[in-house]
């Protein structure tokens, strides 16, 4: 097995949610040893559906399974003094702790960054929360829709004459996880040079806001705010219906406007009211009609392939099952199989990006609850078998 | 004060548009020396302006290519070097730069760097421990779409985002602005931290091959899993929550003002009913448990909207949050500049431009992370086109004056783009009438206290 880029880096993952779990999953995927520490009842994520075959079993959450690949797992009750002392012992041996509890919770357990870094000054602790560790809303409740609302994303998503629209799924949480992993890997590299640890404070609202690069800047440059799109006359570059789904087309790339007109077999598009970008904006409704009419009996795959030949910027709306069967993702080995103790062989989305010198390895499925307890407590921390069984009886692990 | 984490790291940033240029800007904040490389005849398209790359105060200016808003956000803190990569002389200079750098970032379509002899195997010959970061639409390799042109706007469909985004049972919808670009931005930052550590420990470089398409699909992992094991395709549920209810976006007092509310258990539901002054709703047969509330979500949305419409969005947030209910106003590109939380976090930074650039002070977003022991800020404004030509070519590479002059003469380097025209920012009054923008404050500089 070729060691990964983060070989030798030890991580404690205290997170129970998507963002923290995705952050540590990325660290694990690129070589770190990640130990997930869950309450004896299991991380919140285990209770999030969908579930494998719709069975709401904590080992079968379709969030927990992919987000905890390549990790080990133990249980530990952090709300007991014994549990807190065990965590302090564990933290002496790690480079990174990732947590996503509400600000102040770790401190209330005596497990704040200041506390844990006393005996491990190079420690990196990454805290991921909706609003960050300080500020007037720090203790406010977040969540997917709240974070989209606060971050400008919703203000420009959806239609101008309807309510703002959040993005589908839980992509904001994944974003928080990725951006936190980025900060953590940079922090770790900095630490390797100057020995200084860090408490890294990641706000999911700020992660999402950071992507609004045009929306934020237009105000301090000209005093304007971006609008949501109009319901008519703005179909170009938005999903347009064809025979068996939707396609998306955009001007630019290697294609000229003539190429685009040829592609749609609509010479009318060559008239200046469409071919001139400035005029196009004023004749959107008419252009929508022409284009949508021209593709209504054409299939999305035929259009997609022909558009690529014409060097057009072109997309089609794919469904989850189409993504699973996608030959491009297959060539990239995006989906891999792994044996899970409860579920058996299962296909999962694997690496985020490819690296040449340290090829990706999927070496373990998500841990079952407390799967590595014996290994960590008895073999690692040196508890005797009777102490180990006592910890279990006292519901500490 | 500790050094910034990437101090001493030199990065060649041969990238265009949004994704990796923004990674370069972030890496500059983190202490790296980031050199933006553009061809004299191939300036970055974010230099051209337009509505979403507005020129300051709507003044195109003589050196318009240095002035647009998004260009200045994405490329802050960098140096600028021009090189005509289409010429062998330009590529030779590029190779010389590679020999004295740590990292190269590029986002050409896969064949380009290969055809130039600048792909990873060749770069490794010049600098054995070089780290190369490539970002493309579909990724390098032998896959059928690898050579396809792509941009975030069309990829949102392909990688599944549009399928899961949209109003309840309505057609697929795009993000309001490029979305998948930024997954590549922070994938690159993550990869660079890890690759630098790996190089430090092993002496080896790395080629990082990022595909926006693949990253986008990753962010829908639970949908992919649900399809793999349960044969489900997912649905569009607008602003609703897959398990809880109610959740939505509701109108409040004020033009285009909204609040989002998300109730996640029975206590919160009870508290919401009391806050609305309708405690009897809690046990009403249509809403008495989460399954009923999901079934009757439309009716419930009506009731909530009637209440929120009479209230101020910030008052509602504070009231509901004090009752333990997740709620927040929908903030737009103007609102964030005046929100007390954003202010407290110093997320928006004042960047002062040098006198001769006639851009005054502008407010730009910083970074979505704070390091407790290492304060960070935007260190410098984005560079003027080719401002670093003399420094890098003469001082760093030691090129003599004659050779330098001939490079200028033959347009291998330049301090003025030799092609391209500005797209003037539309007149805000007209843009308002056409609904291209939502609001316009002519006195924005006073409001922001910038000059």
Q: Considering only CA atoms, give the Rg of chain B.
A: 25
pLDDT at A233 over 80: no
pLDDT of residue B436: 87
Q: Which of B330, B359, B382 to mutate to test the interface with A (most CBs of A within 10 A)?
A: B330
Per cent of chain B over pLDDT 90 is 93
**Interval B428-438: pLDDT, tens:** 999 998 888 99
The phi and psi torsions of B82 (rounded to 5 degrees) equal: -100, 140
- List the domain boundaries for chain A: 10-211+330-393, 240-316
Of B155, B167, B234, the CB nearest to A320: B234
pLDDT at B254 over 80: yes
pLDDT at A190 over 80: yes
**Interval A274-302: pLDDT, tens:** 988 778 878 888 998 999 999 999 999 99
ipTM given for this complex: 0.98
- The model's pTM is 0.98
Tokens 């003027």 -> residue: B384
Q: How far is A64 from chain B (nearest CA, A)?
A: 9
**Interval A136-182: pLDDT, tens:** 999 999 999 999 999 999 999 999 999 999 999 999 999 999 999 99
Per cent of chain A over pLDDT 90 is 90
d(CA B78, CA B14) in angstroms, rounded, equals 12
Greatest pairwise CA separation for chain B in angstroms: 87
The enclosing H or E element of A293 equals helix A284-295
DSSP label at residue B395:
I
**Interval B213-249: pLDDT, tens:** 999 999 999 999 999 999 999 999 999 999 999 999 9
Tell me what the mean pLDDT of segment A18-38 comes to: 98
Of B53, B328, B434, the CB nearest to A146: B328
For residue B356, give every residue at least 6 positions away whose Cβ sits within 8 Å of its Cβ, in sequence order, or none.
none
Contact B214, B150 (CB under 8 A): no
The enclosing H or E element of B218 equals helix B212-218
pLDDT of residue B142: 94
Residue B369 token pair? 């992370």
Contact A307, A278 (CB under 8 A): no
B1 — pLDDT class (breaks 50, 70, 90): low
Q: Which of A100, A134, A208, A218 to mutate to test the interface with B (most CBs of B within 10 A)?
A: A218
Residue B116 token pair? 């130039």
Nearest-5° Cα angle at A166, A161 to A167: 120
The CATH class for the domain spanning A10-211+330-393 reads: alpha beta
Per cent of chain A over pLDDT 70 is 100
pLDDT of residue A154: 98
From chain A, pick out residues whose CB is under 8 angstroms from the CB of B332.
Answer: 152, 155-156, 215, 225-226
A356 — pLDDT class (breaks 50, 70, 90): very high
A221 with B55: Cβ contact below 8 A: yes
**Interval B43-92: pLDDT, tens:** 999 999 988 899 999 999 999 999 999 999 999 999 999 999 999 999 99
Tell me what the mean pLDDT of segment A212-225 comes to: 96
Residue B378 token pair? 């935007």
Bond prior to B246 in cis (omega within 30° of 0)? yes
Contact B48, B68 (CB under 8 A): yes
Residue B189 token pair? 């930052």
Contact B433, A281 (CB under 8 A): no
pLDDT at B292 over 70: yes
- Residue B191: CA count within 13 A, CB half-sphere: 32
B319 — pLDDT class (breaks 50, 70, 90): very high
Contact A252, B151 (CB under 8 A): yes
Contact A154, A166 (CB under 8 A): yes
Bond prior to A50 in cis (omega within 30° of 0)? yes
pLDDT of residue B119: 98
What are the beta bridge partners of residue A245? A242
Residue count (chain B): 451
B258 with A355: Cβ contact below 8 A: no
The CATH class for the domain spanning A240-316 reads: alpha beta
**Interval A123-142: pLDDT, tens:** 999 999 999 999 999 999 99
From chain B, pick out residues whose CB is under 8 angstroms from the CB of A50.
Answer: 222, 225-226, 230, 232
pLDDT at B155 over 80: yes
d(CA B69, CA A217) in angstroms, rounded, equals 6
Q: How far is A83 from chain B (nearest CA, A)?
A: 26
Burial of B80 (0-12, 13-18, 19+ CB in 10 A): buried
Under 8 Å CB pairs connecting chains A and B tally to 555
pLDDT at B2 over 80: no
Question: Is pLDDT larger for residue A396 or for residue A6?
Answer: A6
B156 with A315: Cβ contact below 8 A: yes
Tell me what the mean pLDDT of segment B22-26 comes to: 98
**Interval A304-334: pLDDT, tens:** 999 999 999 999 999 999 999 999 999 999 9
Closest CA to A1 of A348, A375, A356, A360: A360
Greatest pairwise CA separation for chain A in angstroms: 85
Contact A5, A30 (CB under 8 A): yes
Burial of B336 (0-12, 13-18, 19+ CB in 10 A): buried
Contact B138, B213 (CB under 8 A): yes
**Interval B186-200: pLDDT, tens:** 999 999 999 999 999
Contact B425, B48 (CB under 8 A): no
pLDDT at A396 over 90: no
Mean pLDDT of chain A: 95
pLDDT of residue B434: 83
pLDDT of residue B334: 98
pLDDT of residue B163: 97
Q: Which domains does chain B have, with CATH numbers?
A: 10-218+346-447 (3.40.50.10540), 247-333 (3.30.1540.10)
**Interval B79-137: pLDDT, tens:** 999 999 999 999 999 999 999 999 999 999 999 999 999 999 999 999 999 999 999 99
Burial of B283 (0-12, 13-18, 19+ CB in 10 A): exposed
pLDDT at A235 over 80: no
According to DSSP, the β-strands at B206-211 and A354-355 are antiparallel
3-state secondary structure B313-370: HHHHHHHHHHCCCEEEECCCCCHHHHCHHHHHHCCEEEEECCHHHCCCEEEEECCCEE
Per cent of chain B over pLDDT 70 is 100
Of B56, B333, B347, the CB nearest to A206: B347
Tell me what the mean pLDDT of segment B391-410 comes to: 98
Q: How far is B87 from chain A (nearest CA, A)?
A: 20
């Amino acid at each position: 097995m070729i060691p990964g880029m983060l070989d030798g880096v030890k991580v404690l993952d205290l997170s129970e949610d998507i963002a923290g779990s995705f952050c540590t999953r990325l660290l694990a995927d690129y070589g770190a040893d990640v130990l997930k520490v869950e309450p004896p009842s299991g991380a919140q994520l285990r209770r999030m559906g969908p579930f494998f075959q719709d069975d709401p079993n904590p080992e079968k959450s379709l969030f927990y399974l992919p987000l905890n690949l390549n990790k080990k797992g133990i249980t530990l009750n952090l709300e007991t003094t014994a549990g807190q002392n065990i965590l302090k012992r564990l933290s002496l041996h790690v480079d990174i702790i990732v947590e996503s509890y509400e600000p102040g919770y770790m401190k209330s357990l005596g497990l704040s960054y200041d506390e844990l870094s006393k005996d491990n000054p190079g420690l990196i602790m990454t805290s991921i929360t909706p609003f960050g560790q300080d500020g007037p809303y720090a203790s406010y409740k977040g969540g997917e829709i709240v974070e989209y609302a606060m971050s400008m994303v919703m203000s420009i998503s959806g239609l101008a004459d309807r309510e703002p629209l959040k993005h589908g799924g839980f992509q904001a949480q994944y974003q928080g996880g990725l951006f936190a992993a980025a900060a953590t890997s940079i922090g770790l590299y900095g630490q390797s040079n100057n020995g200084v640890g860090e408490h890294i404070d990641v706000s999911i609202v700020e992660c999402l806001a950071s992507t609004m690069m045009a929306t934020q800047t237009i105000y301090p440059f000209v005093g304007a705010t971006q609008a949501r799109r109009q319901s008519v006359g703005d179909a170009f570059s938005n999903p347009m219906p064809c025979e068996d789904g939707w396609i998306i087309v955009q001007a630019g790339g290697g294609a000229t406007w003539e190429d685009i007109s040829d592609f749609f077999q609509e010479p009318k598009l060559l008239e200046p009211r469409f071919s001139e970008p400035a005029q196009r904006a004023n004749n959107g409704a008419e252009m929508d009609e022409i284009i949508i009419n021209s593709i209504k009996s054409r299939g999305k795959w035929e259009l997609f392939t022909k558009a690529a030949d014409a060097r057009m910027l072109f997309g089609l709306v794919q469904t989850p099952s189409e993504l699973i069967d996608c030959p491009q993702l297959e060539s990239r080995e995006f989906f891999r199989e792994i044996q899970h103790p409860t579920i058996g062989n299962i296909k999962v989305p694997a690496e985020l990006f490819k690296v040449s010198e340290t090829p990706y390895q999927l070496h373990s499925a998500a841990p079952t609850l407390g799967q590595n307890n014996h290994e960590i407590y008895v073999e690692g921390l040196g508890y005797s078998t009777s102490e180990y069984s006592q910890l279990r009886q006292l519901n500490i692990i | 004060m500790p050094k910034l984490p990437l101090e001493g790291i030199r990065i060649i940033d041969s990238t265009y548009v949004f994704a990796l240029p923004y990674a370069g800007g972030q890496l500059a904040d983190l202490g790296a020396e980031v050199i933006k490389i553009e061809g004299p005849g191939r300036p970055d398209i974010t230099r051209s302006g337009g509505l979403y790359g507005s020129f300051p105060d709507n003044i195109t200016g003589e050196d318009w290519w240095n002035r647009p808003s998004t260009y200045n956000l994405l490329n802050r803190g960098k140096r600028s070097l021009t090189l005509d990569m289409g010429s062998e002389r330009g590529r030779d200079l590029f190779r010389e730069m590679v020999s004295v750098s740590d990292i190269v970032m590029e986002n050409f379509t896969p064949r380009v760097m290969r055809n130039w002899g600048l792909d990873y195997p060749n770069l490794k010959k010049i600098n054995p421990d070089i780290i190369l970061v490539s970002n493309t639409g579909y990724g390098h390799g032998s896959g059928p779409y690898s050579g396809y042109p792509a941009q975030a706007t069309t990829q949102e469909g392909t990688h599944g985002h549009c399928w899961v985004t949209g109003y309840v049972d309505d057609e697929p919808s795009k993000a309001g602005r490029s979305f998948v670009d930024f997954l590549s931005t922070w994938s690159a930052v993550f990869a660079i931290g890890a690759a630098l550590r790996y190089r430090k420990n092993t002496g080896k470089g790395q080629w990082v091959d990022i595909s926006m398409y693949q990253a986008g699909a990753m962010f829908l992992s639970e949908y992919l899993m649900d399809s793999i094991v349960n044969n489900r395709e997912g649905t569009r549920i607008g602003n609703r929550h897959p398990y809880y209810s109610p959740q939505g976006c509701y109108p409040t007092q004020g033009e285009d003002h909204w609040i989002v509310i998300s109730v996640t258990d029975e206590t919160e539901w009870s508290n919401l009913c009391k806050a609305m002054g309708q405690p009897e709703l809690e046990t009403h047969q249509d809403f008495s448990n989460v399954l009923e509330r999901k079934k009757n979500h439309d009716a419930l949305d009506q009731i909530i909207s009637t209440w929120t419409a009479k209230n101020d969005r910030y008052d509602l947030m504070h009231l509901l949050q004090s009752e333990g209910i997740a709620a927040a106003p929908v903030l737009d590109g103007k609102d964030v500049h005046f929100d007390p939380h954003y202010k407290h976090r110093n997320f928006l930074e004042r960047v002062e431009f040098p006198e001769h650039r006639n851009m005054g002070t502008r407010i730009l977003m910083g970074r979505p992370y704070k390091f407790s022991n290492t304060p960070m800020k935007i260190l410098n404004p984005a560079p003027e086109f080719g401002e670093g030509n003399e420094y890098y070519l003469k001082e760093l590479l030691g090129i003599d004056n004659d050779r330098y002059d001939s490079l200028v003469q033959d347009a291998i380097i330049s301090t003025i783009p030799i092609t391209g025209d500005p797209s003037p920012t539309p007149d805000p009054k007209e843009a308002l009438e056409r609904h291209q923008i939502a609001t316009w404050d002519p006195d924005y500089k006073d409001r922001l206290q910038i000059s």
